[in-house]
Every structure is written in structure tokens, then in C-alpha cells.
Structure 1
Amino acid sequence: MVKVVVCGAAGGIGQPLSLLLKQSDLITHLALYDVVNAPGVAADLSHINSKSQVSGHGKGDMDAALKDAHTVVIPAGVPRKPGMTRDDLFKINAGIVRDLAEGVAKNCPGAFVLVISNPVNSTVPIVCEVLKKHGVWDPKKVFGISTLDGVRSSRFVSEVKPSLDPKSTRVTVIGGHSGVTIVPLLSQIPGHFAKNLSQEKLDALTHRIQYGGDEVVKAKDGAGSATLSMAHAGARFTLTLLEATISHTAGLVESTYVSLHADADSTASFRHKTGLDYFAQDIEFGPEGVHRIVPLPDLSTYEQTLLDAAIPELKVNIAKGASFITDSA
């Protein structure tokens, strides 16, 4: 049985994410957990004629939802509002993510954990520190879903150059999952895409990728943040992971925010140079989760400048997440 749990399933991301996952034949049991409305969402989805069983779990029923899960996807938390940065979300979402990680450690310690809850740069270290505390941490199995940055990049690049198909044009995005920590490697797009852009256009495109979420927050005018596009990105990442771990499909690659200890030998030099323990980078999936972290390509001078700016911010974000658990131990 392949049980996938969505924690925060009744929310703006959780509902469309659950709908997309319900369509997969790789999932036999889709368990939906939320403090409100999860049974209703589950009843609705259960009428869809795909193979998976759906169960709904409300407040007080987290253990049953998580029990024996293969994969746990966490979009739980509050959305960003106008003027709110991802870091502003920390105080609210950190406690939610901590409690869910405790539930994972207790009920499904071997599960793959996919974190959407922002700020991802900090919430992933929170999950890892909780699992470490319980002696069940496997760095190959915890992921921050930064996939939306790549999804946006592919779309925005195609708007600059319409001959590029947004579905097939893949953009590697490294660093983290907020603002200045998002570093799109536009120099890797075939056809000298980046070199053919003026500096002004390159700056504008990079800024749009880094702060694309702000476009949505502003456009929704107080009614929420990026939910539908994030659900798409979250489902894409989850299904790719399942293809690798259940179907054993080899060679699948996505950018994701992970502990660099998931491939400690190949990242040792980078960790020593930067002082970072977590980083968004291309990873190749395997049955164990992270099969390998793909080495960074040669960066352009412009991209190296972006990375240099990202590293100090990442250090602060990571320390903030880790200390939320370690300082309260």
C-alpha cells in the first residue's frame, strides 16, 4: 500500500494539491488531514473515479492520518498577505510544522517528508531537527518543495522568448526559496538565451523569478497567495518522487531544497566553502529518495554574484529554523 498524507489538506494549496494527487494510480490511500474541514474535502474527492481510497482526518486525528505513511506532504500553515514576507510567516508556521514533524517521528518515521509550508528555508531545518531529536532523521528523505521557482522560471523565460516551450524548457534554480536566495541559472538554457539578453532585461527577469510570489499576493489583493501554481508544483514534485521510489524510474531530476548531508561526500567542499547545511539544487531521485545531488554547473559571473548575495541570507534562515527546535529542547 502506498499511503500519501496531505497535512493542511483543506487549505488553499491543500485542496487543489489533493485533487491532483487523487488522479495518480501510484497512490492507493490518500489521507487528508487538517484542523478544519478535512472530512468534507475527503468526501468530495472520494467520488472521483480513480483507484485511491480517500480518508479525512480532523483535529485530534493526526496520528491516524500519519500512521504508516509512505509520503507526507505539508502545505499546512497560514498564507502570505500583502506586505508580509516569507520570513514574517515564521512565528506562525514554525510551530505548526514542528508539531507535524513530531507526528511523523511517532507514526511514520521512515516516510518521505515534503515541505511546502513557508518559509521553506527555515521550515525544512525544523523538520530535520525534530527527526534528529527522535533518532529517525534520514537526510535523503526530507525535501523542501522549491519546484515553483523552476515552474515560474520556465513560464517567464517563454514569455521573453516565445520560441521556447515552457513545458520542455527546464530551468535549474539553486539557493533557497525566498527572494534573494532564489538563484535561477539562466545561463544553462540552450541557445545562449542569457547572453542574448541586455543587462536590464536579465535583471528584470531574475527579479521577477525571485519575487514572482509577490505578483500573486498583490493581484489577489489580500485574498491569499500562490495556491494553484504551488499546488501544481507540489503535485509535480510528489509524483516524481513516487515514480522514483515506487516505480523505480531512474534518472528523474528536480531542483529541491535539501540537507546537503543527503550526499555528504559530493557536497563536502561546497559545505566547507559556504558554511551551508541546506541548499536548493538539482537532485537525482532514487528508491531511497535523494540518489545524488547533481554538482553545480559553471556559473556565470552574474549568477555567482547572485549566489554570493544569497548565502548570508540562507545562513540566517537556516539558523533560525534549527534554533527554533534546539533552543527549546
Structure 2
Amino acid sequence: MDKRKFLQTGAAFLAWSATMGMRAAHAAVDAKTKLVVADQSEFIRHLLDASGQRKQIGFQLDLPNFAGGPAIFEAIRAGALDIAYVGDTPPIQARAAGVNLPIIATFTREVAQYRLVQHASAGVERLADLRGKRVSYVEGSGRQVFLIEALHGAGLTLKDVQLVHLRVSELNDALRAKAVDVATLIEPHVTRLAKQIGARVVPDPQERTLLPSTSYFYARPEVLADVQKAKAIEAFLAAFVRAGKWSNANAQAWGEHYYRRFQKLDAESASAIQSSLSPLIFQTAGEAQPHHQRLMDTLLAAGSVPRRLDAKDSFVSTFDAVVTANR
């Protein structure tokens, strides 16, 4: 793979990629086309399967599973992925590193998926109690900006806590071993650690209102310039949005498939998870930009990115029409 081409981030190159993607809308997808999409917690795989949308995809779709944005970034830099499902921070960290991976689709929930989870004896009753605590820090993950926002909610900064730099895969064990006092986790790990070690979420009401739970699909620019790949992305996104709508309307069936059968959770735990989730909302590039700018500015204020970035340069509107047509 030509690294110089990959690192090219000029507006002209992205505009050219978007134009080529639009032309793909008039081309049929060759059944031999292969699209490799990074998944996390096998969410996409099971959403497509449970909704029946996987059967509607007439090309080769590979969904390798990853643990967090940093590992995905390395894989997409190596050319092993076409597009990726990531949290809200990885596209910003990529741009800060000089790599613009254009965001092609956005989906969000009004209530955050992340939770601040403490071991049983940590003694954190409100966000202000985070001062001086050992707190997990996963740079390049959506957990990063969530923690920063939590600290801001209590009038604190990253300098007011002891940051323990970890990988996503290390968070559960770190909390079990009390190597950290608080970790930023998602389900089903929150529920599992509550049962296993008596872990509990920080009960401050602000913890549930800090940020919406926003995720993106981003792409290698070269992929958007490939007619067959771009058409496959269009078909994939249409199926994904329809699958998300299905999960909103069929919460019980989705919970039974994903939380009970796949994640092996008991009925009480599965119900608790689903009751904490707000519906999936699918956004166009223009609709998603204000929140993305807020995230960028938050990371800048915290010193986590070296310069101010403009959110509009992170998005292409190539696939907006397919999102709006299916949402």
C-alpha cells in the first residue's frame, strides 16, 4: 500500500473520492466484490443477522471483530479494512495524527453507552469524588472524551486524577485487580462486573447525561474512489440502517438474539441493559457535524489534540441519500 497516498488529506482528494462514490450509485454491485468492515462486540454482525438484512447483501461481506478504536486504526492504516465502525473519538485522533479517514455515516443514541464503573470499595458517589482517583484512560477511544466530559461536569480536569493508560481489553481485569478505581465501560461488562466483583456505576445523575452515544463509519479514501467498493458501501449502509430501525421496533427480539443468546446474559441483565438504551438515530453529515465539533473542541481544551480541527473536513456526504432513504 502507498503510505503517502494514504496520508493525503487535502480537501481536493476527498472531494474527488466523494464524486467517484456518487458515480457508483448508478453501477450494479458485482457479486464478487468484497467489503471488509471492522466490527466491535460483533454488533454489526448480529444486527444484520437478527433483522434478516444480511440475506439482502449480494456481495462478500467480511466483519472482523476488534476491541476498540486504536486497534482498528492500525488495521485500516495497514490497508486491511475498507470501512470501520468506531466510537466518537477515533476519527478525531486519526486527524490529529495527520490521517483523514472520512466519516461516511453517523448513528447515535441520546443516552451515552459508556458508564463510569468503580470497584466495590472505591467510594465514588458523585463525579467530584473522582479527584485523586486512579482512572482508566484509553486514548483514541470514545471512552477518552466521555471521561473528559465527566471530569468537566465536576469542575475537574485530567490533571486532577491519576490516569492509568490501558487498552480496552485490559479494563475489566484492571478493575477486578483494583489496579484502577474507576474504568469507563460498556455493557455487558458493566452488568457482568457488578455480579462478579460487586462493581457499581458512579451514581451521580450527571453521569447519564454527559454525551450522546455517537458512533461512526469511517473509510479509507481509496475505497471511496473504487466504483464497486463504493456501491457495496451504499448497499451495506442501507442494510445497516434498516437493521437499526428493526432493532428499535423489535427490542424484545433483538435483546433475545444479542444479549441472551450471543452474550449469554440472564434475562434480568439483558432487560437492564435494554432499558438503559435509547433508540438508534441515523444522521446525515450536516446533522452530525455540530456534535463532532463539540468533541473536537473538548479534546483541544484538554490538550489531547495539538490544534483546532474543523468538523466539516471530517465528513463526506456521499451516502447521505441512502441514510435518509432508509431511516
Q: TM-score, normalised by structure 1?
A: 0.31
Greater RCO structure (CA 8 Å; 6+ sep): 2
